[in-house]
A and B are shown apart, each in its own frame.
Chain A
Amino acid sequence: MLTKRIIPCLDVDAGRVVKGVSFIDIRDAGDPAALASFYDKEGADELVFLDITASSDDRNIMINVVKQVSEQVFIPLTVGGGMRSVADVKRMLDAGADKVSLNTAAVLNPELVVESSEHFGSQAIVVAIDAKRVTVEDASTAPKSSDQSLGLDESSRWQVYIHGGRTPMGIDAVKWAIRVAELGAGELLVTSMDTDGHLTGYDLDILKAISEGVTIPVIASGGAGEPEHLRQAVETGKVDAVLAASIFHFGTYSVKDVKDYMASHGLPMRPTD
């Protein structure tokens, strides 16, 4: 049976992994390759590297990071952050990434999703969606979507944000998810900004709404604090994979802990060694 994937996410700033990773008993806990190997051995099914480098001058560093990691770790690697063109995507895939994750660039230029999936295959193109629950004020303050068919309406429950969650776009997140799947995305990474960082669980409603709206795999992101949250994302949110950061980086739970828990609840998991 196809297993549900557990995906640790690492934030990389100018070539160094940031966030609390000090628990890990390796010589250099900021070294992306060392951490990738660590999670691989722990039984991670895939890895996501998010390039949060602010300076565009330092963007090339990520290329080298990906080269190094892909020589040592032989599980799928997705890289997101800062890619705006087919050429950017190509450079990252050539460096050794298996998939790239497009977020802001996909919203501002949906044609990028079409072109990249035609060039490299849908399997290589993940579209990341940052979404937030629509509030009463949004009805008057949200910007008008340039594409009316995607705009917020009375039934909209979540709005798409870009620029790392700073800019609301007036776009309905579920409509956007369905659209990018049509444009050629091979997978969706859905982050709820309402739950992200709170460790209180994923927003199961948006996961379910999007997962049932598309036929491509959906990855849940934002809010995992304990193994039960990951189980809920799969069982209630209907997702195919779960991404988590803090829960693993702080050493609260290992990948094996999470997999054992989910397997004990009858979910198909790839066993850890």
Chain B
Amino acid sequence: MSEPRITIVDYEAGNVRSVQKAFQKVGGQASITSDPDEVIRADALVVPGQGACDSSMSHMREKGLVEPIKEFIASGKPFFGVCLGLQLLMKDSEEGDEPCLGVLQGRTRRLPPGQKIPHMGWNQVDFHIRHPVFDTIPDGSHFYFVHSYYADPDDKSVVACTTDYGVDFCSGAVWENVVAVQFHPEKSGALGLKIYKNFIEDIKS
């Protein structure tokens, strides 16, 4: 594949443009859409997002994006989730009553009390699965986080990396064609951009 089309899903949950700018910075062709057909046709799909699970899921539902995103993931084409884009893969969330995408068994849970919430700032990431997307990223590298909830998959074998904030939580999950991280590569400086560059390289190969 020469130049894969990276499609970023806009479902009114946070700043999708910063993700687009980051992909463009590392030479990717990234477009933003909320059109279900474009989601299905994408070569690679990116679901970013910040905010609450419930309202995000209802925006996603209103735009008819739930089934196309699930269909895309089932198709085996490369998928990248960021922040809420990881949490929404779970079956449900402690944050709300709406079911999430349910691509993965597990819950999205609230970070434990005793520390400042949201978990905001640069924290360390320890890698357990060396997916090509994490190529040359040193263990213990710092990435930028902003969240109050975290994904807790039942199947721990998908946990690609963990981060400590009162609990050692899943800061990234990887299985088959799916990569999803809790931190924001588009706000994590050179190392974050490297992850997006790796993703582009991985799609091409």
Given contacts A71-B21, A71-B25, A94-B17, contact A45 B122 (CB under 8 A): yes
Taking CB as reference atom, which chain A residue is nearest B185? A74
* A208 located at the interface, meaning its Cβ lies under 8 Å from any Cβ of chain B in the complex: no
Q: How far is the CA of A235 from the CA of B104 in the complex (A)?
A: 41
Cβ contact within 8 Å between A74 and B121: no
Q: How far is the CA of A5 from the CA of B147 in the complex (A)?
A: 16
Taking CB as reference atom, which chain B residue is nearest A94? B17
Cβ contact within 8 Å between A5 and B192: no
Cβ contact within 8 Å between B189 and A215: no
- Pick the most buried of B116, B121, B190: most chain A CB atoms within 10 A of its CB: B121
Q: How far is the CA of A61 from the CA of B205 in the complex (A)?
A: 43
* B22 located at the interface, meaning its Cβ lies under 8 Å from any Cβ of chain A in the complex: yes
Cβ contact within 8 Å between B189 and A75: yes
Cβ contact within 8 Å between B50 and A121: yes
Partner of B122 from A2, A71, A215 at Cβ < 8 Å: A2
State the total of A-B contacts with C-beta under 8 angstroms: 87
* A270 located at the interface, meaning its Cβ lies under 8 Å from any Cβ of chain B in the complex: yes
Q: How far is the CA of A241 from the CA of B118 in the complex (A)?
A: 14
Cβ contact within 8 Å between B189 and A216: no
Taking CB as reference atom, which chain B residue is nearest A72? B25
Cβ contact within 8 Å between A2 and B123: yes
Shortest beta-carbon distance from B140 to chain A in Å: 10
Q: How far is the CA of A215 from the CA of B112 in the complex (A)?
A: 12
Cβ contact within 8 Å between B121 and A3: yes
Partner of B117 from A74, A121, A215 at Cβ < 8 Å: A215
Given contacts A3-B122, A3-B142, contact A75 B117 (CB under 8 A): no
* B96 located at the interface, meaning its Cβ lies under 8 Å from any Cβ of chain A in the complex: no
Q: Which residues of B contact A94 (CB under 8 A)?
A: 17
Which residues of chain A from 203 to 244 have a CB within 8 Å of any chain B CB? 215-217, 240-241
Cβ contact within 8 Å between B121 and A5: yes
Cβ contact within 8 Å between B118 and A216: yes
> What does the 1/0 interface line of A114-135 toward B look like (CB < 8 Å)?
0000001111100000000000
Cβ contact within 8 Å between A75 and B121: no
Cβ contact within 8 Å between B189 and A40: yes
Cβ contact within 8 Å between A271 and B51: no
Taking CB as reference atom, which chain B residue is nearest A241? B121
Q: Which residues of B contact A123 (CB under 8 A)?
A: 50, 118, 120, 146-147
Q: Which residues of B contact A70 (CB under 8 A)?
A: 17-18, 21
Which residues of chain B from 107 to 159 have a CB within 8 Å of any chain A CB? 115-124, 142, 144-147
* B37 located at the interface, meaning its Cβ lies under 8 Å from any Cβ of chain A in the complex: no
Which residues of chain A from 110 to 161 have a CB within 8 Å of any chain B CB? 120-124
Q: Which residues of B contact A57 (CB under 8 A)?
A: none
Given contacts A96-B18, A98-B15, contact A217 B142 (CB under 8 A): no
Shortest beta-carbon distance from B38 to chain A in Å: 21
Which residues of chain A from 31 to 56 have a CB within 8 Å of any chain B CB? 40, 45
Cβ contact within 8 Å between A2 and B118: no
Cβ contact within 8 Å between B164 and A121: no
Q: Which residues of A contact B165 (CB under 8 A)?
A: 2
* A1 located at the interface, meaning its Cβ lies under 8 Å from any Cβ of chain B in the complex: yes
Given contacts A3-B142, A71-B21, A98-B15, contact A273 B190 (CB under 8 A): yes
Can you spell out 26 A-B residue pairs with CB atoms less than 8 angstroms apart? A1-B123, A1-B124, A2-B123, A3-B121, A3-B122, A3-B142, A5-B122, A40-B189, A45-B121, A71-B21, A72-B25, A74-B18, A74-B21, A74-B22, A74-B187, A74-B189, A74-B190, A75-B188, A96-B18, A98-B15, A98-B18, A216-B116, A216-B117, A217-B120, A241-B121, A270-B122
Given contacts A2-B115, A75-B189, A186-B120, could you give 16 more A-B pairs where the C-beta distance is less than 8 Å? A1-B123, A2-B123, A3-B123, A5-B121, A45-B122, A71-B25, A74-B18, A74-B190, A76-B144, A98-B187, A121-B51, A123-B50, A124-B14, A187-B120, A217-B121, A241-B121
Those 6 A-B pairs whose CB atoms lie nearest each other, nearest first:
A121-B51, A270-B142, A270-B122, A123-B146, A2-B123, A3-B122
